[in-house]
């Protein structure tokens, strides 16, 4: 038997030859459930952003001639932020399915990479997106309330800030912690399985 045949035969060995099958199957089920929830979440967010873009576009077409450059820049910035944030979130979804031509450990590392990206979204990118969105909204409100009183302008800014800040902190307290715990649990389980692969392959 040639070396290439031996290598192909080793790669095609079932997962059970390298690790505890029940633990791997449980981890696989948990991963698939997490993926389904992420897919639904990203799809809903995409539809929500699309609806928001249509609404913002209508506002721009209807009123752009009545306001100056801050109005236009704020709307353009909001569009750009939503598009970038959508791309970042969809990047966290694992489109690649398990390939029998890849070693199981390679696929586990792929899963861990996606989970670490999801953590980065929660801990970093969501905050950056929120702050930049707030700045765009401040510019927008300051422009469209230019003809109002000082009290009216600052009241509008205060309401907007309270709304965005309230949603952000509610999400952090109610959803972010729970999601992070789940992601960390998935990463820990995958790392244990990966260590098992490496130990058993090293013993061969």
Residue 121: is its pLDDT beyond 50? yes
Report the distance separating Cα 102 and Cα 38, nearest Å. 24
Residue-wise pLDDT tens digits, 45-96: 999 999 999 999 999 999 888 998 999 999 999 999 999 999 999 999 988 7
What is the domain count for the chain? 1
Q: Is the pTM of this model over 0.75?
A: yes
Report the distance separating Cα 183 and Cα 108, nearest Å. 14
Instruction: Give the CA distances from residue 34 to residues 43, 56, 96, 149, in Å, rounded to whole numbers and listed in that order.
Output: 14, 32, 15, 50
Residue 10 within a domain: no
Residue 74 within a domain: yes
Residue 2 within a domain: no
Give the domain range for residue 116.
Answer: 31-93+103-192
Residue 20 within a domain: no
Burial 7-35 (b: 16+ CB within 10 A, else e): eeeeeeeebeebbeeeebeebeeebeebb
Q: Which of 5, 10, 29, 39 is nearest to 118 (CA)?
A: 39
Residue 4: is its pLDDT beyond 60? no
């Amino acid at each position: 038997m040639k070396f290439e045949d031996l290598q192909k035969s080793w790669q095609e060995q079932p997962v059970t030859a390298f690790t505890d099958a029940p633990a791997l199957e449980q981890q696989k089920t948990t991963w698939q459930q997490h993926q389904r929830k992420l897919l639904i979440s990203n799809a809903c967010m995409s539809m929500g952003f699309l609806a928001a873009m249509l609404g913002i576009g209508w506002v721009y077409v209807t009123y752009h001639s009545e306001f100056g450059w801050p109005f236009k820049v704020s709307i353009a910035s909001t569009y750009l932020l939503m598009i970038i944030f959508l791309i970042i979130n969809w990047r966290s979804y694992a489109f690649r399915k398990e390939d029998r031509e890849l070693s199981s450990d390679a696929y586990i590392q792929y899963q861990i990479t996606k989970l670490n990206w999801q953590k980065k979204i929660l801990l970093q990118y969501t905050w950056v997106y929120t702050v930049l969105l707030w700045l765009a909204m401040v510019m927008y409100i300051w422009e469209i309330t230019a003809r109002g009183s000082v009290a009216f302008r600052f009241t509008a800014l205060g309401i907007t800030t309270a709304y965005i800040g309230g949603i952000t902190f509610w999400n952090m307290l109610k959803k972010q912690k729970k999601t992070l715990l789940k992601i960390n649990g998935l990463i820990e389980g995958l790392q244990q399985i990966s260590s098992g692969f490496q130990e058993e392959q090293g013993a061969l």
